[in-house]
Amino acid sequence: MRVLVISDIHANYTALEAVLKDAGEVDETWCLGDLVGYGPDPNMVVEEVRGIKNLTCLLGNHDVAVIGRIPFESFNGGARTALEYHEKVLTTDNMEFLRSLPQNLKVREDASLVHGSPRDSVWEYILNTLSARLNFDHFTTPWCMVGHSHLQCMFRLNEANNRVTLEPIRPGELVKLKPRLIMNPGSVGQPRDRDPRAAYAIYDTEAKTWEPRRAQYNIEEVQKRIREARLPEKHAIRLMEGW
């Protein structure tokens, strides 16, 4: 089964469209959360995701906030401004779709799916080998797929010596999966690894492979919509820089 794995779309419809086109035909799509937040297109993104066949979708921290389960005050000023805007413009149907989604870890065959981390499904970032090691004890599947950090990366636990390493991965290169791993497909709508291209991954459940990928999209078009919506200028600038 060929699975499209996406995360952190953040209301960037143009990036999402580029990823869906670049990925081609897939059997299932697994979305690790944060459909909203930061960007100018919350309704278009949620409606596009709602229409994806064979979808498994989780809530991210921005999604949880916009449906009223986390106070906006928990976010920094720019993120809070975007959430306030999204809360005003999201349609009733799109809000109901978000409310229908789970926020806790979900298991699909060999993979555990979660937005933040197995220890804290909404808030914790897995950014380094220490935070990764602390989380390997909190899932039982061979590998876990996480989002939240906006970094396309992979952590491997060597069970023989109990050490975790940050594995070198490159877009377009297949990785043969062996237990145990934590993988992040990166962010569709707001990458933070200095590569502004939309990030995602293709997971093959039979071949047990993971292919990190990047897709070009029209960043200037999204920046224009951010400014038209009077969202923070920082949200426009960072898209071109990938931070």
DSSP class of 38? S
Structure token digits, residue 204: 């093959």
- Could you tell me how far CA 128 lies from the centroid of its own chain? 17
C-beta separation of 198 from 217 below 8 A: yes
DSSP for 38-84, written as a single string: SSS-HHHHHHHHHT-SSEEE---HHHHHHTTSS-GGGS-HHHHHHHH
Q: What is the pLDDT of residue 41?
A: 98
154 contacts 183 by C-beta, under 8 angstroms: yes
* Torsion, CA 129, CA 134, CA 138, CA 141, rounded to 10: 30
pLDDT, one tens digit per residue, over 85-138 is 999 999 999 999 999 999 999 999 999 999 999 999 999 999 999 999 999 999
Rounded CA gap, 148 and 114, in Å?
Answer: 9
Into how many domains does the chain fold? 1
pLDDT > 90 fraction of the chain, expressed in percent and rounded: 100
As given in the structure block, the two tokens for residue 153 are 């990366």
Tell me which residue range forms the domain holding 227: 2-241
Read off the CATH number of the domain in which 105 is found: 3.60.21.10
Contact (Cβ atoms closer than 8 angstroms) between residue 108 and residue 56 = yes
Residue whose pair of structure tokens reads 């707001």 in the numeric block: 190
* pTM recorded for the entire structure: 0.97
